[in-house]
Chains A and B, each alone.
Chain A
Amino acid sequence: MTQVSTEKQWLSGNEAIARGAWEAGVTVASGYPGTPSTEILENLAKYDQVYTEWAPNEKVALEVAVGASFAGARVLATMKHVGMNVAADPLFTASYTGGRGGLVIINADDPEMHSSQNEQDNRNYAFAAKLPMLEPSEPAEAVSMLQEAFALSEEFDAPVLFRTTTRVAHVKGMVPTGSRSTGPVEIKIEKMPAKFVMLPGNARMRRLEIEKRQAKLAEFAETYSGNRIEWGDKKRGIITGGISYLYVKEAFPDVSVLKLGMTWPLPEKMIKEFAAGVNELIIVEELDPFLENHIKAMGVTCLGKEKIPAIGELNSFIVKKSLGGDVGDIFPPVDLPPRPPNMCAGCPHRGLFYSLSKQKVFVAGDIGCYTLGFLPPLSAMDACVCMGAGINIAHGMNKALGEEGLGKTVAVIGDSTFCHSGITGLVNTVYNKSYSTIIILDNRTTAMTGHQPNPASGSTLMGEPANALDFTKLCQAIGVKHVTSVNAHDIGQCRKVIKEEIERPETSVIISQGPCVLLPAERKRKKFPFTTSIDKCTGCSMCVQLGCPAIRWYPISPEEAKKMGKKEKQKGYARISVEMCTGCGQCAQLCKFEAITAVEDL
């Protein structure tokens, strides 16, 4: 066997994709952060000779990528599965235009919804947009497959969809790596109007090309090395791809397997040959019966979702159990208090959401750390659909409710999400005269995905200083007459301003300011934590209602209360963890008994 790799490295799937893109000679990359895709661009940004950027949203990122491809560059666009919905508009027409330089779009699906609002199966996009899709099973495969993806894109004049799932993106393994190559296309301006200008006359011509391309791609799939048959026991054959391939190998190491590295278009001859060689054919795939339906449409008899769950992630245990393998006895789970994620100690969102929770309003929320404001004890979010939706949901409700709704709704949206797709909603709100109040939760970063800079942060992915979008001026320019900034930690101010603004019969914006406590500058800041005087604590539990992880309630019995010199009816007391407290002071503002004070001797 020829040793093609120069070395092996321990890389996650996302690190491997970054490496693969660099080796493929990518010179431009754009994306929007989204779990499980985020680390790709963060890692690619560490390599020389590549321009990388965070775009405000996935549609922008893909259009940037299309432009770079038109100029001849090998280019990468990255996004999570729901981001592909945002980018779907350019996607479907980029399928018609193709490009010049290779264009690969990384699409990261999230079966099981570890960090997502739905678990759509984006293989369906490859079918719908008539584009080739490659799927690696593990980091080791990602680097070489990405080189193939770029070659494929150039050879067939098509953007290539490269699909990962959480268990490919966030799995680490040993990865063979090589050196950097250069894309084959000259970088220059080349006018190709018949290809690049999608007026109906041109598009109709391209439409014919796409059908020809589909046929050629299907032919290519028959000989593509990523599609391979591993003959074993022929009583049962399994067709699978992506992460599911590894689960099959783990659960049934001896079974015959057709591994599809290219999941669209499908190699019909290879599939039929494999089907003919086994007694029973089973399709093992996560989420939709995508392969199954298309294989059945070829007239091939197979089993699929009758056996394999269509909901959630698979693993080798589920595959084994679903196909009649012995999994032994399993200890039943123990009933324990749940541990959902929570806003951090000192999170600025907590102060704002606490203030909001006292207003008895319908909170149209959005996507970010602040979606956790939904959870008790704050319970201050009543809707969350997709990026940028909150502003429009509030507007829609207001139009439906009419005057009755005044003072009863509010929209909240983070700074990054506002840049992503909130601005157009605000334009609509003003233009169509809503009395909406929109709260922009400005924590200076894209926090949930791990602190990526955004157009309001003042820096770029590559670490350069950049313009920081001024929300106040932007909102004023859109036509919002009432824009007020509040300190997110100042509960009194937040409550007062929220109350005033939601009663206003015109569009208003509140900018809730407070940097994320996990930002490097905030971590370095000297902390002045608070502590509780147990003597003064009356057990009113006001501070506990913040849901801050640094504050814990300790229940006490009447006897214990008596022993502590407290009223017998006192049910407990609250204590602050000095190690966790960041000194935001929200709880001290709520304590009416002066039991919470700053720690003096640090």
Chain B
Amino acid sequence: MKPSGNILFCGVGGQGILLASEITAFALLESGYDAKKSEVHGMAQRGGSVVAHLRYGEKVYSPLIDLGKADFSVSFEIMEAVRYLPFLNKDSKVVVNTHQIAPPAVATGKMTYPADVLDGLRQQNISVFPVDGFAVAKEVGEIRTANVVLVGALSTFLPIEEEVFINVLKKRIPRKLDENLQAFQKGRQMTSAA
């Protein structure tokens, strides 16, 4: 019987969340897991808060993660990591891209971006792994690899061999493969010491 797990991907519409969740799903499938993924399309994609649910195990029924049942969360934006707190539990591991995108009320000065927003997670004893995805992506020379950096950081927690992920990247990423592989490795290094 294979272990089961739930991964929540969240962020702001247009950040490449679907690609990151897709790569992870393929790695799970290649490793022999059943998986289901739920996405949001349409209006919410226009810069709004977006979320994708990825569930895996021997056999998956519901495509949606229950409240309190996300084992892992990958957030592409800091505040969004906290917005989905009700999906987490005290054992959840959260990979956070340390990137701020101001929502409209903040950008127009009506509200302020909450300071130390990740404390909302740490206060619940949730393990938080901040990753500067864009800085790493710039290092490898391709800003668009930030989502692969985050997948790399997530990958060390999953019951998937590193080789499987690398093969998926080779198969699924047509352009700038070397940069993406480097981004993945650098992402891995950021959580493997933990």
Q: Which residues of A contact B (CB under 8 A)?
A: 10, 12, 35-36, 38-39, 114-115, 138, 167, 170-174, 243, 246-247, 249-250, 253, 315-317, 320, 327-334, 336-344, 369, 372, 375-377, 448-450, 541, 544-545, 547, 549, 551-553, 555, 571-572
Contact A544 B62 (CB under 8 A): no
Q: Which B residues are CB-close (under 8 A) to A339?
A: 12, 47-49, 79-80, 83, 103-104
Bound CA span A197–B66, Å: 52
Proximity bits, B20-48, A CB within 8 Å = 1, else 0: 00000110010000111111111111111
State which of A171, A334, A340, A549 has its C-beta within 8 Å of the C-beta of B83.
A334
Q: Are B85 and A337 in contact (CB under 8 A)?
A: no
Contact between chains at B48 and A337 (CB < 8 Å)? no
Which chain A residue lies CB-closest to B85? A331
Q: Say yes or no for B113: interface residue by CB 8 A criterion.
A: yes
B19 contacts A by Cβ under 8 Å: no
When chains A and B are docked, how far (Å) is the Cα of A390 from the Cα of B171? 48
B61 touching A250 by the CB < 8 A rule? yes
**Nearest 3 A/B pairs, CB to CB:** A115-B42, A35-B42, A341-B48
B167 CB contacts on chain A under 8 angstroms: none
**Quick one: closest B residue to A137, CB to CB?**
B61
Name the B residues within 8 Å of A36 (CB-CB): 41-42
Q: Flag whether B3 is at the interface (Cβ < 8 A).
A: no
Residues on B with beta carbons closer than 8 Å to the beta carbon of A250: 61-62, 66
Q: Shortest Cβ distance from B73 into chain A, in angstroms?
A: 12
Q: Which residues of B does A touch, CB under 8 Å? A: 12-13, 25-26, 29, 34-49, 60-64, 66-69, 79-80, 82-83, 85-86, 88-89, 101-114, 117, 120, 124
Q: Which residues of A contact B38 (CB under 8 A)?
A: 167, 170-172
Chain B residues positioned under 8 Å from A340 (CB to CB) = 48, 103-104
Asked if A174 and B29 make an inter-chain contact with CB atoms under 8 angstroms apart, the answer reads: yes
Q: How far is the CA of A334 from the CA of B120 in the complex (A)?
A: 7
When distances are taken between beta carbons in the complex, the residues of chain A under 8 Å from B114 are 336-337
The answer to whether A333 touches B86, judged by C-beta atoms less than 8 angstroms apart, is yes
Q: How far is the CB of A400 from chain B (nearest CB, A)?
A: 31
- B66 touches which of A114, A173, A327, A331 (Cβ 8 Å): A327
Question: Is the CB–CB distance between A341 and B62 below 8 Å?
Answer: no
A171 touches B68 (CB 8 A): no
The reply to whether B48 and A544 contact each other, CB–CB distance below 8 Å, is no
Checking B29, B101, B117 against A10 with a beta-carbon cut-off of 8 angstroms, the contacting residue is B29
Chain A residues, Cβ within 8 Å of B46: 341-344, 369, 372, 448
State whether A10 and B107 are in contact (beta carbons under 8 Å apart), knowing that A336-B114, A342-B47, A549-B47 are contacts in the complex: no
Q: Are B85 and A334 in contact (CB under 8 A)?
A: yes
Report Cα–Cα, A78/B86, bound state, in Å.
Answer: 36
- Determine the distance from Cα of A559 to Cα of B40 in the docked complex, in whole angstroms: 45
**CB < 8 Å: which of A39, A330, A541, A555 contacts B67?**
A330
Q: Is the CB of A330 within 8 A of B43?
A: no
Closest to B13 in A: A341
Instruction: Specify which chain A residues have a CB less than 8 angstroms from the CB of B88 in the assembled complex.
Output: 331
Contact of A114 among B29, B40, B106, B112 (CB under 8 A): B40
State the CA gap A332–B83 with chains docked (Å): 10
A377 to B103, CA, bound (A): 12
A560 to B55, CA, bound (A): 48
Minimum Cβ distance to chain B for residue A31 (Å): 15
Q: Are B83 and A172 in contact (CB under 8 A)?
A: no
B13–A545 contact, CB under 8 A? no
Chain B residues with Cβ under 8 A from A320's Cβ?
A: 66
Pairwise interchain contact A171-B37, C-beta atoms closer than 8 A: yes
Q: In the docked arrangement, what's the CA distance between A216 and B47, Å?
A: 50
How near does chain B come to A330, taking the closest CB pair, in angstroms? Answer: 5
CA distance A553 to B44 in the complex (A): 23
Q: How far is the CA of A171 from the CA of B62 in the complex (A)?
A: 10
A-B contact pairs, 24 of them (CB 8 A): A10-B29, A12-B39, A35-B42, A38-B41, A115-B41, A172-B36, A173-B63, A243-B63, A246-B63, A249-B61, A316-B62, A317-B69, A333-B83, A334-B85, A336-B117, A337-B111, A337-B114, A340-B48, A341-B13, A341-B44, A376-B110, A450-B41, A544-B108, A552-B107
What chain B residues lie within 8 Å of A341 (beta carbons)?
13, 43-48
A336 CA / B46 CA spacing, docked (Å): 19
Give every chain B residue within 8 A of A549 (Cβ-Cβ): 47, 101-102, 104, 107
Q: Which residues of chain A are near B85, meaning CB under 8 Å?
A: 331-334
Of B42, B44, B68, B110, which contacts A330 at CB under 8 A?
B68
Minimum Cβ distance to chain A for residue B137 (Å): 12
CB-nearest residue of chain B to A35: B42
Contact A327 B104 (CB under 8 A): no
Q: How far is the CB of A230 from chain B (nearest CB, A)?
A: 12
The contact of A173 among B12, B35, B110, by CB within 8 Å, is B35
- Complex partner residue of A170 from B25, B35, B40, B105, CB under 8 angstroms: B40
How many Å from the CB of A545 to the closest CB on chain B? 7
Instruction: Give the complex CA separation of A246 and B25 in angstroms.
Output: 20
Chain A residues whose CB sits within 8 angstroms of the CB of B106 once the complex forms: 337, 552-553
Q: How far is the CA of A172 from the CA of B21 in the complex (A)?
A: 11
Given contacts A315-B62, A553-B109, list 17 more A-B pairs with CB under 8 A: A114-B40, A138-B63, A170-B39, A171-B36, A247-B64, A250-B61, A316-B61, A316-B62, A327-B67, A330-B86, A332-B85, A333-B85, A334-B85, A342-B104, A343-B47, A369-B46, A372-B43
When chains A and B are docked, how far (Å) is the Cα of A315 from the Cα of B67? 10
* Residue with the highest number of chain B CB atoms closer than 10 Å, among A316, A337, A555: A337
Are B107 and A551 interface neighbours, CB within 8 A? Answer: yes
In whole angstroms, how far apart are the Cα atoms of A115 and B69 in the complex? 26
A10 lies within 8 A of B25 (CB): yes
Chain B: minimal CB distance from A39 (Å): 8
The docked-state distance in angstroms from the alpha carbon of A320 to that of B66 is: 10
Kindly identify which residue among B34, B63, B117, B120 contacts A174, using a CB–CB cutoff of 8 Å.
Answer: B34
**Hey, which chain A residues are within 8 Å of B89, CB to CB?**
331
- Given A10-B25, A35-B43, A249-B61, verify A337-B103 contact (CB < 8 Å): yes
Taking a contact as CB atoms under 8 Å apart, the answer to whether A376 and B108 are in contact is: yes
Could you tell me if A337 and B86 are in contact, using CB atoms closer than 8 angstroms? no
How distant is A358 from chain B, measured CB to nearest CB, in Å? 17
Q: Nearest Cβ distance between residue A83 and chain B, in whole angstroms?
A: 14
Chain A residues positioned under 8 Å from B79 (CB to CB): 336-337, 339
| B105 in complex: contacting residue of A35, A329, A338, A545, CB < 8 Å | A338
Residues of B within 8 A of A333 (CB): 83, 85-86
Q: Are A544 and B109 touching (Cβ within 8 A)?
A: yes
Q: Which residues of A contact B61 (CB under 8 A)?
A: 246-247, 249-250, 253, 316
A330 to B61, CA, bound (A): 22
Cα(A247)–Cα(B38), bound, Å: 13
In the bound complex, CA of A337 to CA of B106 (Å): 7
Instruction: For B120, list chain A residues within 8 Å (CB).
Output: 334
The reply to whether A138 and B43 form a contact with Cβ atoms under 8 Å apart is no
Nearest Cβ on chain A to B42's Cβ, whole angstroms: 3
Give, as a whole number of angstroms, the nearest-CB distance from B147 to chain A: 15
Docked-complex contact A328 and B42, CB < 8 angstroms = no
Closest chain-A Cβ to B50's Cβ sits at a distance in Å of: 9
The chain B residue sitting closest to A39, CB to CB, is B41
Q: Do residues B108 and A553 form an inter-chain contact, with CB atoms below 8 A?
A: yes
**Chain A residues in 8 Å Cβ range of B69:** 317
